[in-house]
Chains A and B, each alone.
Chain A
Amino acid sequence: MRFDSLLDSVGQTPLVGLPRLSPSPDVRLWAKLEDRNPTGSVKDRAALAMITAAEKDGLLRPGCTILEPTSGNTGISLAMAARLKGYRLVCVMPENTSSERRQLLRMWGVEIVGSPAEGGSNEAVRVAKVLAGEHPDWVMLYQYGNPANALAHEESTGPEILADLPEVTHVVAGLGTTGTLMGVGRFFRAAKPSVRIVAAEPRYGELVYGLRNLDEGFVPELYDESLIDNRFSVGPRDAVRRVRELLDCEGIFAGISTGAILHAALGQAAKAVEAKERADIAFIVCDGGWKYLSTGAYEGTVDDAEERLEGQLWA
Chain B
Amino acid sequence: MAIEVKVPTILRTYTAGEKAVSGAGGTLGEVLDDLETRHAGIKGRVVDGEDLRRFVNVYVNDEDVRFTGGLGTDVKDGDTVVILPAVAGG
Interface residues of A (CB under 8 A from B): 43, 69-71, 73-74, 119-122, 124-125, 143-144, 174-177, 179, 199, 201-204, 206, 208-220, 225, 228-235, 315
Contacts and interface: CB of A to CB of B under 8 A. Distances in A.
Nearest to A72: B90
A225 B55 CA distance: 14
Given A74-B90, A174-B89, A211-B85, 7 more contacts: A120-B87, A209-B10, A219-B86, A220-B90, A231-B64, A232-B62, A232-B63
A235 B61 CA distance: 12
B22 interface: no
A200 to B, nearest CB: 10
Size class of B's contact patch? 20 to 34
Nearest to A94: B88
B87 A177 contact: no
15 contacts: A71-B90, A121-B89, A143-B90, A175-B89, A176-B88, A201-B64, A202-B89, A209-B9, A214-B85, A217-B56, A217-B86, A219-B55, A229-B67, A231-B64, A234-B62
Contacts of A213: 10
A220 B88 contact: yes
Identify whether the interface residues of A are mostly helix, strand, loop, or mixed: mixed
A214 B56 contact: yes
A231 B67 CA distance: 7
B90 A177 contact: yes
B31 to A, nearest CB: 17
Interface in B26-83: 45, 53-57, 59, 62-64, 66-67, 82
Contact of A125 (B11, B55, B84, B88): B88
A214 B84 CA distance: 9
Interface of B: 8-11, 45, 53-57, 59, 62-64, 66-67, 82, 84-90
A43 B89 CA distance: 12
Contacts of B63: 230-233
- Chain B CB within 10 A, most for which of A121, A212, A217: A217
Contacts of B62: 232-235
Given A217-B56, A232-B62, A121 B87 contact: yes
Nearest to B82: A233
